[in-house]
Chain A
Amino acid sequence: MKHTLVALVENKPGVLARVAGLFRRRNFNIDSLTVGTTEDPTISRMTIVVDSTVADASLVERNLYKMVNVLFVQDISSEPSVTRDLALVKVAANAEKRAEIIQLVDIYKARIVDVGQTTVIVEMTGSPAKVDQFIQLLEQFGIREMVRTGLVAMKRGDEPMFQEDTDEHARGEWRVITNG
């Protein structure tokens, strides 16, 4: 099963290398990893997707937490959340197919962001499943180039994701899922 982990990390040089090194060293497979800025300039936010069991995702989470530069980690896979992926797809588009492509783009609420003589670039944002579906439909026209940003995610609702004083791990309390 896919697990989506959100990590808040200190915005310092080398932190991405540390996290990437952890995944390599511990032999954890990642589907995607994105890093970006947040409302706090001293903190960056990572969204990491791993394909693993619940137990292994928990081990990844604890390994991330252990790093000195990591403030907070949460597996939000089972939480109500908004997840988005962005794709740029350069599709072959000759005169006869162009109308069909535009129609598809309209239906999926994607956008055409560049028009060439024989191709167009389509920008699509949505849940990863929806982006997958859309790309599959574009394949019939011939995909020349494609890039996806990887997933970003945010929990729904008003509750703050991380409060340093009340977070149980920040207080030093761990409830690891066990057999018993």
Chain B
Amino acid sequence: MKRTGGQIVWEALKREGVDVIFGYPGGAILPTYDAMVDYDIHHVLVRHEQGASHMADGYARATGKVGCCIATSGPGATNLITGLATAMLDSSPVVAITGQVGSKAIGTDAFQETDVTGVSMPVTKHNYLVTDVRELPRVMREAFYIARSGRPGPVLVDIAKDAQQASLEFEWDERPIRLRGHRPQPRAVSESIAKALDMIRSAKRPVILAGHGIVLSGAYREVREFAEKTNTPVALTLLGIGAFPRSHPLCLGPMGMHGEAYVNRAIQESDLLLAFGMRFDDRVTGNLKMYAPHARKIHIEIDPTEVNKNVKVDVAIISDLKDALEQINPLVEAGDHSEWIAAIQDWMQDTHARDIIRQDPGGKLLSPHVMLDLWKATEGNAITVSDVGQHQMYEMQYYGHERPKTLITSGGLGTMGFALPAAIGTKMGRPNEEVWVVAGDGGFQMTMAELATCVQENIELKIAVVNNNFLGMVRQWQEFFYDKRYAATPLFNPDFTKIAGAYGIPSYKVTQRADVIPTIQQARNTPGTVLIEFVVEAEEVVYPMVPAGASLSDMIRRPVNGTQTQVTDDMKQAGIGAGSV
């Protein structure tokens, strides 16, 4: 059967199992939009293309399937870039389709022409420019295959307008794809596994570092089995949250810059780190020279380029995590690390004493309390989609996630404006789940135009805007490291309830702790999207904190009993120094 390039796009999407696509039309992609009308794939019209790429990303993270977005050439395509970079750093499978000017016009600086394959090259796993319709079926198949295989990531397909218009006798190749240079399924080599088993056997103070790879590999059961059999405590990366149940007795909670002090101490005093699908990001390691100095390191990772990139390891098992643990688990011996676990529990006491939950807020509404109450009110069962900044860290600390894929957040790129659009994608993918947007006043304003998308699509989100009238995390850095010179961090804000009202979205404003849970319950009982603005204490600080570039052992702790925060000269030097990232 004859099909145009535009029709082939939809034929391909259908065959790849796509049921929803997020996009924004324009001149160079019009032939493909015109063909869309005849296919039963749901199109979500966004208000800015950045929203489309975040929605595709959110959909992908929430479902494990490939998320799709579509935009026109030039500005349409460049607006996608932030979302693609976000997906790239967090290994999220996204396929982006963009229109390009006609192939004869490429290179002439034609209207709305941008070299999009050039622009997107460093922020995609791979990309394609299609100028001949005959290449299109193959390219579409390869794009999905590359996006989802191995370590997932975004793939962009840029299609010249004339290639969308040209016709072809359409055939879909059903055979498995084989790309000569793309080998996404590495297999653990037995020597590495044998070495790892030796180290596991002799370890006295092991810690598992649980990362996003557990979620991507679907290795929850295997990780749990390993942890329980060897009695090894588990620390989580931000994207590893949900990969191991927070209430599990072996779960220590998040590590790194805003991880609890006892978790970081456990890592620093460990004699064996088991890195499961994580990449030793600077936000979890702190200063590499002083990172886990007594520990041998076993790294199980599907991407060979992550090994020895930041931390030099002792054993590398290059493999899908599930496959590797399926080989390892039957061979590990039952471990007893009760002394080690008791030591960690002892350090935990100090953290508990300093916990904001046990401090008297003096009648103030604090952002961490909002997160804690949200967790209580939703019984820990909601999917939360957080933005970037202080509220994101409080969410990580106080919302105990039990299930995988229930925290959707931009970890690697730290993209403000991510939450609302990513939550729309999440809800499209998981319509039966309760989805909460948790955003600060700064990030929310970056993409709040997508409220219109939410209403137009009749999507039910519950939105918590945590408003402190500051770019809070930046302000916190200024407080600690830049002598409280608040350059460009105080924000003028609109009345967020009126913004919601303008879209016909019911809204509430909360200023008292006592109103937090009742208002959340009211929002939950109100059908459709609801927004709650929490007006919180302006100059609250996320504790504890490892200054960027400092050792994990040097944390700024929450002061207790009326003492002042201790930021030593060394910490300050690290925070503003050349090693600070």
Cβ distance B131 to chain A, nearest Cβ, rounded Å: 10
Q: Are A178 and B305 in contact (CB under 8 A)?
A: no
Q: Are A71 and B180 in contact (CB under 8 A)?
A: yes
Tell which of A62, A63, A175 touches B192, judged by Cβ atoms closer than 8 Å. Answer: A175
> Which residues of chain B come closer than 8 Å to A9, judged between CB atoms?
181
> Which residues of chain B come closer than 8 Å to A177, judged between CB atoms?
308
Q: Are A179 and B180 also in contact (CB < 8 A) when A14-B117, A173-B187 are?
A: no
B169 contacts chain A at the CB level, 8 A cutoff: no
B175 contacts chain A at the CB level, 8 A cutoff: no
Cα(A122)–Cα(B183), bound, Å:
46
Cα(A175)–Cα(B188), bound, Å:
9
B195 contacts chain A at the CB level, 8 A cutoff: yes
> Which residues of chain B come closer than 8 Å to A84, judged between CB atoms?
none
Tell which of B126, B186, B312 touches A179, judged by Cβ atoms closer than 8 Å. Answer: B312
B296 contacts chain A at the CB level, 8 A cutoff: yes
Q: Are A180 and B296 in contact (CB under 8 A)?
A: yes
B487 contacts chain A at the CB level, 8 A cutoff: no
Cα(A18)–Cα(B118), bound, Å:
9
Cα(A176)–Cα(B181), bound, Å:
19
Cα(A175)–Cα(B187), bound, Å:
11
Cβ distance A180 to chain B, nearest Cβ, rounded Å: 3
B303 contacts chain A at the CB level, 8 A cutoff: yes
A51 contacts chain B at the CB level, 8 A cutoff: no
Q: Are A173 and B195 in contact (CB under 8 A)?
A: no
Q: Are A180 and B314 in contact (CB under 8 A)?
A: yes
Name A99-150 residues within 8 Å CB distance of B: none
A161 contacts chain B at the CB level, 8 A cutoff: no
B182 contacts chain A at the CB level, 8 A cutoff: yes
Cβ distance A98 to chain B, nearest Cβ, rounded Å: 48
Tell which of B180, B182, B191 touches A175, judged by Cβ atoms closer than 8 Å. Answer: B191
Cβ distance B279 to chain A, nearest Cβ, rounded Å: 13
Give the interface residue-count category, chain A.
Answer: 20 to 34
Cα(A17)–Cα(B127), bound, Å:
12
B20 contacts chain A at the CB level, 8 A cutoff: no
Cβ distance B12 to chain A, nearest Cβ, rounded Å: 18
Q: Are A178 and B312 in contact (CB under 8 A)?
A: yes
B189 contacts chain A at the CB level, 8 A cutoff: yes
Cα(A25)–Cα(B122), bound, Å:
7
Cα(A164)–Cα(B179), bound, Å:
12
Tell which of B129, B182, B185, B307 touches A176, judged by Cβ atoms closer than 8 Å. Answer: B307
Q: Are A170 and B183 also in contact (CB < 8 A) when A175-B189, A180-B314 are?
A: yes
Q: Are A169 and B183 in contact (CB under 8 A)?
A: yes
Q: Are A66 and B312 also in contact (CB < 8 A) when A14-B117, A172-B186, A175-B189 are?
A: no
A59 contacts chain B at the CB level, 8 A cutoff: yes
Tell which of B122, B182, B308 touches A178, judged by Cβ atoms closer than 8 Å. Answer: B308
Q: Are A59 and B305 in contact (CB under 8 A)?
A: yes
Tell which of A55, A67, A179 touches B314, judged by Cβ atoms closer than 8 Å. Answer: A179
Closest 7 CB pairs of A and B: A180-B314, A174-B318, A172-B186, A176-B316, A62-B304, A71-B181, A62-B305
Some 11 contacts from A to B, beta carbons below 8 A apart, are: A18-B121, A59-B305, A62-B304, A66-B304, A68-B179, A70-B181, A174-B189, A175-B189, A176-B316, A178-B312, A179-B314
